[in-house]
Amino acid sequence: MAHGLHSHADARRGDTRVAWAIAINMGLTVAQVAGGVLAGSLALIADALHNFSDAVALIIAYLARRIARQPADGRMTFGYGRIEPVAALVNYTTLVVIGLYLIYEAVLRLANPAPVAGWIIVLVAGVALAVDLGTAALTWRLSRSSTNIRAAFLHNLADALGSVAVILAGTIVLLWGWTWVDPAATLLIAGYILWQSLREMPGVVRILMLGSPPDIDTRQVIDAVSRVPGVASLHHVHVWMMGEHEPALDAHVVLDDGAAADEVRRAIRRIVADRYDIRHTTLETENGGDACAEPTEIGH
């Protein structure tokens, strides 16, 4: 009971951190848009758009985090945990769209330069950088164990780096009047957004596609189970992720003649738990005479 209360308290503290991060980012977005309009800075408005996406990403992450804690029921027999990778995919997709839009706007601004008020850019971007770093600090610990929160965290980290780029651009405009640096900084921000998003998306898709955990070799699992005494062969093997940190194994196990099914199952569960941290197993045992006809070793 104490552990359950501790986990619930940790979850509530995490929710509070995310809620504060949402409020801070919403306030910053309004300030950045106003500063970008006054300064005529595309880079600052670009940073504001990205910052707004940070707030939306955090809202999505927050809601997904709350939903994921709901217990399994007759409608969702595996529970609601997979809502978190769904939320992460939505956030990464949003980042890609924003990155492409910023590239489009930056190219247009390079073709038609506009005057920029550098001092407003530096002032607002400086405040934005402080807020971005604070928001990233609020979500950093949670991001280490959740792909959902990590997507929102990367929104904020990219925005912090974007603020650095905007500050440098504004400084250069003040010193030398090079207005082309503003859209050039926007291109750098967009490039980083796209790089981070496209790098993280395959891992999220892998969870949603029921792929095997990236740190588990399915062939090694099959070899380890095949060496368990009493196992003649395996087929219809599935090594997959129920959630980000929940590897699972499903398999049909053909037994040697005279092997005790209960003992073999216990031995298999012990081995995959000890070696691969697989705690969820579904094992169907078969005798040589009633084994599946023409089975495939992996999958159906």
Q: Could you give the percent of the chain with pLDDT greater than 70?
A: 83
Measured in degrees and rounded to the nearest 5, phi and psi for residue 295 equal -80, 155
User: Is 227 part of a structural domain of the chain?
Assistant: yes
Average pLDDT over residues 113-138: 70
Q: Could you give the percent of the chain with pLDDT greater than 90?
A: 22
Same domain assignment for residues 169 and 73: yes
Same domain assignment for residues 191 and 222: no
Q: Give the Cα separation of 18 and 55 in Å (integer).
A: 10
Measured in degrees and rounded to the nearest 5, phi and psi for residue 197 equal -65, -50
- pLDDT over 70 at 12, yes or no: no
Asked which of 162, 185, 208 is the last residue of a domain, the reply is 208
Give pTM, 2 decimals.
0.72
Same domain assignment for residues 224 and 81: no
- pLDDT over 70 at 14, yes or no: no
Quick one: tokens of 74? 């007759």
Same domain assignment for residues 136 and 222: no
249: confidence class by pLDDT, cuts 50, 70, 90 = very high
Same domain assignment for residues 92 and 223: no
Query: Do the Cβ atoms of 264 and 231 come closer than 8 Å?
Result: yes
| 15-55: pLDDT as tens digits | 777 777 777 777 777 777 777 777 676 666 766 776 777 77
Same domain assignment for residues 234 and 180: no
Q: Give the Cα separation of 114 and 246 in Å (integer).
A: 53
| 164-173: pLDDT as tens digits | 777 777 777 7
User: Is 298 part of a structural domain of the chain?
Assistant: no
CA distances from 177 to 62, 115, 143 (A): 43, 9, 40
Tell which residue, 236, 250, 238, 232, has the closest CA to residue 289. 232
CATH number, domain of 274, equals 3.30.70.1350
Number of domains making up the chain? 2
| 263-293: pLDDT as tens digits | 999 999 999 999 999 999 999 999 877 777 7
- pLDDT over 80 at 109, yes or no: no
Same domain assignment for residues 204 and 229: no
Quick one: tokens of 115? 């005057």
The pLDDT assigned to 6 comes to 39
248: confidence class by pLDDT, cuts 50, 70, 90 = very high
Same domain assignment for residues 230 and 94: no
Same domain assignment for residues 187 and 250: no
Q: What residues make up the domain containing 243?
A: 218-290
User: Is 300 part of a structural domain of the chain?
Assistant: no
Contacts of 39 (CB under 8 A, 6+ apart): 116, 117, 118, 120, 121, 124, 170
Same domain assignment for residues 81 and 188: yes
- pLDDT over 50 at 119, yes or no: yes
Q: Give the Cα separation of 230 and 237 in Å (integer).
A: 17
The pLDDT assigned to 90 comes to 87
Query: Do the Cβ atoms of 193 and 95 come closer than 8 Å?
Result: yes
| 144-154: pLDDT as tens digits | 666 767 777 77
Average pLDDT over residues 187-204: 84
- pLDDT over 50 at 3, yes or no: no
Q: Work out the angle at residue 184's Cα, subtended by the Cα atoms of residues 99 and 43, and round it to the nearest 5 degrees.
A: 65
Asked which of 148, 179, 208 is the last residue of a domain, the reply is 208
DSSP structure class, residue 298: B
Quick one: tokens of 226? 């095949």
Same domain assignment for residues 79 and 159: yes
Of residues 137 and 258, more confidence is placed in 258
- Terminal-residue alpha carbon distance, the chain: 41
Query: Do the Cβ atoms of 45 and 33 come closer than 8 Å?
Result: yes
